[in-house]
Homo-oligomer: A and B are copies of this chain.
Amino acid sequence: MLEKIDLSKSMKSQKAKEIYEEQSKKLSALQRECKQAKIPVMIVFEGLGAAGKGTQINKLIQALDPRGFHVFSIGKETEEEKMHPFLWRFWIKTPEKGRIAIFDRSWYRRVLSDRFDKLVKEEEIPNAFSDIQFFEKQLTDDGMVIIKLFLYISKKEQKKRFHSLLDSKETAWRVTKDDLKRNEDYEEYLEMNEEMFKNTDTENAPWTIIEATDKDYAYAKIMTTVVNRLEEALERHKNITELEEKIKENLESVQKDRTEENYFKAGALSKADLTKSLDQKDYKEELERLQKRLKLLHNSIYRMRIPVVLAFEGWDAAGKGGAIKRLTSSLDPRGYAVYPTASPNDIEKMHHYLWRFWNNMPKAGHISIFDRTWYGRVMVERIEGFCTEAEWKRAYQEINEMEEHLANSGAAILKFWMHIDKEEQKRRFQERMDNPEKQWKITEEDWRNREKWDLYEEAVDEMLIRTSTAYAPWVIVEGNSKYYARVKVLKTVVKALEEAINLRK
Contact = CB atoms under 8 A, between A and B. Distances in A.
Given A57-B333, A61-B333, A67 B32 contact: no
A275 B333 CA distance: 63
A292 interface: no
A325 interface: yes
Nearest to A372: B67
Interface in A78-121: 78-80, 102, 104
A107 to B, nearest CB: 17
A321 B67 contact: yes
A473 interface: no
Contact of A58 (B54, B333, B345): B333
Interface in A353-383: 369, 371
Interface stretch (A138-146, A183-191, A334-342, A448-456): A334-342
Contact of A66 (B65, B328, B437): B328
Nearest to A295: B58
Given A332-B58, A347-B347, A437-B29, A337 B70 contact: yes
Interface string A438-481: 00100000000000000000000000000000000000000000
Contacts of A57: 333-334
A272 interface: no
Contacts of A65: 321, 325
Contacts of A255: none
Given A78-B80, A338-B66, A71 B333 contact: yes
A62 interface: yes
Interface string A310-338: 00000000000100110011001110011
A73 interface: yes
A503 to B, nearest CB: 22
A346 interface: yes
A332 B53 CA distance: 11
Contacts of A346: 345-347
Each complex incorporates copies of this chain amounting to 2
A10 B325 CA distance: 30
A79 B80 CA distance: 10
A334 B80 contact: no
A324 B66 CA distance: 8
Given A345-B347, A347-B345, A104 B58 contact: no
Contacts of A71: 333-334, 337
Interface residues of A, number: 37
A194 B169 CA distance: 52
A338 B100 CA distance: 13
A332 B59 CA distance: 10
Contacts of A32: 440
A321 B334 CA distance: 45
B332 A54 contact: yes
Contacts of A347: 345-347
A489 B399 CA distance: 49
A58 B334 CA distance: 9
A437 B321 CA distance: 55
A303 B440 CA distance: 56
Contacts of A337: 70-71
Contact of A334 (B54, B324, B325, B345): B54
A66 B332 contact: no
A102 to B, nearest CB: 7
Interface in A13-63: 29, 32, 54, 57-58, 61-62
Contacts of A345: 345-347
Contacts of A369: 66
A355 to B, nearest CB: 14
Contacts of A29: 437
A491 to B, nearest CB: 20
Given A71-B333, A71-B334, A104-B333, 6 more contacts: A29-B437, A32-B440, A58-B333, A71-B337, A102-B333, A345-B345
29 contacts: A29-B437, A54-B334, A57-B333, A57-B334, A58-B333, A62-B329, A65-B321, A66-B324, A66-B325, A66-B328, A66-B338, A66-B369, A67-B324, A67-B339, A67-B340, A70-B337, A71-B333, A71-B337, A73-B334, A78-B78, A78-B79, A80-B80, A102-B333, A104-B333, A345-B345, A345-B346, A345-B347, A346-B346, A346-B347
